[in-house]
Structure 1
Amino acid sequence: MIVTVTLNPSLDRAVEVDELVRGEVIRATAAQVDPGGKGVNVSRALLANGVPNRAVVPCGGDEGAQLIHLLVQEGVDVLAVPIRGRTRSNMTLAEPDGTVTKVNEPGPSLSPEEFEAVIRQVLGVVSSADWVVACGSVPPGLPVQAFTELCKRVTAAGVRLAVDTSGPALRAAASAGAALVKPNREELAEAVGRPLTSLGDVIDAARQMREWGAGAVLASLGADGAVLVDDDGVVAGDSPVERPRSSVGAGDSLLAGFLAAGASGAEALAEGLAWGAAAVSLPGSTMPGPSDLLRQHVRIHPRPDQVRPLPTP
């Protein structure tokens, strides 16, 4: 079983428009509301593909109640941690060419007592877990030391930890010995403090994170695919999408597919890429199921061209 932890979950409203024009009244062509947050999306993707998991989610206010209601409706096994603050709402505006504009609220702060309640929920179920997956932004005001403590207590319990976050929390996860970290290109560049303009730059940065203590690094590169750097070396891959609709949740689906396929080697990378590409082809933060996966479109590069330049973000 996989346990996901989303410290800053959200309600995600996705609106499709013909064209986003600043200052104009725009009529939506479609809209939907989904439960959101990176860890929540990982749980939803796993559930859609029949992989057992449990989601630990702090929630508060009417938005928090709606979030839990939507998750339960989908069939997600939720461990809700009540908090005093109001769960945030995020807005995604998607255009027909695949361009996505996101407006994310910062979310509520967690008191030390509320954060400890989250940790207790996680540690209460790790005995039956193969992985604990901590994903998403850190709540406003939460010290990086607190996130480090979560990572250390999970690893001390003998459970493999995967982390998808950014900023100081990403470096803290690597230093705490996370078995897997999954940054995107921008997050990885921020972590190592330099721009990543080629595939080789990404690989070097991933190796640096492994030197800090991370077991493996799965770096997502958007339309350029992903790179896996672990004990077995380096492998890259991509999966073209003919009609992109929304990139929201694509990295989360990539991570979910990678974990579901064993979290090691080219086969797991290929599965993750198939899941991520399928998410891009779906509206809003819809998570892909088995019928959405086009594994035949995945291309794996066991000897990636490290001098290949990456497009400017």
Structure 2
Amino acid sequence: MIVTVTPNPSLDRTYEVPSLDRGGVVRATGERVDPGGKGVNVSRAVTAAGRRTVAVLPLGGAPGALVADLLDAQGIEVAAVPVGGATRSNIALAETDGVLTKINAPGPELTAAERELLLETVRTRSRDADWIACCGSLPRGLAPSWYADLVARAHTAGVRIALDTSGPALLRALRERPDVVKPNAEELAQAVGRPLATVGDAVKAAEELRGLGARTVLASLGADGQLLVTDTGTWYGTARVDAVRSNVGAGDASLAGFLIAGGTGPDALASAIAHGAAAVRLPGSVMPTPADLDPAAVTVTAEVPVDRVLEEPVP
């Protein structure tokens, strides 16, 4: 069972548009409304795979009620933490050429009592969990050390924890030795304070995160594939994707695939890549089912192409 924690969930509206004409009238060709937030997406992907999950998230106002209803309709167990502020609403504009424009609202500010209730809810709902997946940005009212506190509490309870966040919250949490961290290329470069031009640069950055405390680093490199760096080895993998429809939630689907497959080793990396590749072929933030996966399109190797130049280098 996988418990997900989304401190700043959202109600996500995704519009598919032919192209984005700034200042003009853009007519959408498709529209979706989904419960949003990185941890929420992980729970959705876990559920789509037929596994049990509990989504812990603070919810408030009409948007929060709709998020809970949408998750319930998908068969996802919600452990809601009531908050006074309204859950944020986000907008994504997906163009036919794969370019995505996102507008993310800041979300409510949590009070001291709401912060503590959120931690307590995670503690009580994770007693039988195989993994806790903590994902996304922190809302106003939560200090950068909040994730570090959560990692420490999880380890005290004997539960493995995966962390998908960035910036000061990631760096603070590394001190508590999270079992898995899952940065994308931009977050990886930000964490080490230098650009990434090659796969080898990404490997060195991941190793540096391990030196700071991360036990395993699962790094998403976009079109350049994914890296897995552990104390037992380093693996690199890619997947063939013929057409990208939307990359919203693809990284979250990857993390779900990794944890579903045990959260360790090259087989888990292959599962992560298969889930991420399936997600980009689907509209909006739709999470893939087992029928959407194409394991044959995935290649994983221990011979990491360190000299490969990234298609999307991070300055």
TM-score by length of 2: 0.97
| Distance in 2 separating the partners of 1:146 and 1:9 | 16
Asked if the contact 2:164–2:182 (Cα under 8 Å) also holds between the matched residues in 1, the reply is yes
CA deviations on 1:118-137 (whole Å, 9 max, x unpaired) are 11111102220111110011
Alignment of 1:1-313 (within 5 A): 1-311=1-311, 312-313=313-314
Q: Which consecutive residues of structure 2, in runs of 5 or more, have no partner in the other structure?
A: none
Letter of the structure 1 residue corresponding to residue 171 of structure 2: R
What is the DSSP-based 3-state SS (H/G/I as helix, E as strand, rest coil) of the residue aligned with 1:132?
strand
CA deviations on 1:204-246 (whole Å, 9 max, x unpaired) are 1111111111110000011111000001111010112111111
Asked if the contact 1:216–1:229 (Cα under 8 Å) also holds between the matched residues in 2, the reply is yes
| Distance in 2 separating the partners of 1:201 and 1:111 | 41
| Distance in 2 separating the partners of 1:216 and 1:287 | 24
What is the DSSP-based 3-state SS (H/G/I as helix, E as strand, rest coil) of the residue aligned with 1:310?
strand
Asked if the contact 2:146–2:169 (Cα under 8 Å) also holds between the matched residues in 1, the reply is no
Letter of the structure 2 residue corresponding to residue 285 of structure 1: S
What is the DSSP-based 3-state SS (H/G/I as helix, E as strand, rest coil) of the residue aligned with 1:122?
helix
Letter of the structure 2 residue corresponding to residue 37 of structure 1: G
C-alpha displacement of 1:156 = 1.4
| Distance in 1 separating the partners of 2:19 and 2:160 | 44
Q: Which consecutive residues of structure 1, in runs of 5 or more, have no partner in the other structure?
A: none
The worse-fitting range, judged by mean Cα deviation, of 104-113 and 42-51 is 104-113
Asked if the contact 1:9–1:57 (Cα under 8 Å) also holds between the matched residues in 2, the reply is yes
What is the DSSP-based 3-state SS (H/G/I as helix, E as strand, rest coil) of the residue aligned with 2:155?
helix
| Distance in 2 separating the partners of 1:164 and 1:62 | 27
The worse-fitting range, judged by mean Cα deviation, of 207-216 and 141-150 is 141-150
| Distance in 2 separating the partners of 1:20 and 1:240 | 27
| Distance in 1 separating the partners of 2:205 and 2:182 | 12
| Distance in 1 separating the partners of 2:17 and 2:126 | 43
| Distance in 1 separating the partners of 2:90 and 2:155 | 31
What is the DSSP-based 3-state SS (H/G/I as helix, E as strand, rest coil) of the residue aligned with 1:27?
coil
Letter of the structure 2 residue corresponding to residue 64 of structure 1: G
Letter of the structure 2 residue corresponding to residue 60 of structure 1: G
C-alpha RMSD of the superposition: 1.0
Give the number of equivalent residue pairs: 313
| Distance in 2 separating the partners of 1:140 and 1:228 | 32
C-alpha displacement of 1:155 = 1.5
| Distance in 2 separating the partners of 1:223 and 1:39 | 22
C-alpha displacement of 1:267 = 0.9
Asked if the contact 1:59–1:83 (Cα under 8 Å) also holds between the matched residues in 2, the reply is yes
Asked if the contact 1:173–1:181 (Cα under 8 Å) also holds between the matched residues in 2, the reply is no
Letter of the structure 2 residue corresponding to residue 201 of structure 1: D
| Distance in 1 separating the partners of 2:211 and 2:218 | 15
| Distance in 1 separating the partners of 2:24 and 2:41 | 32
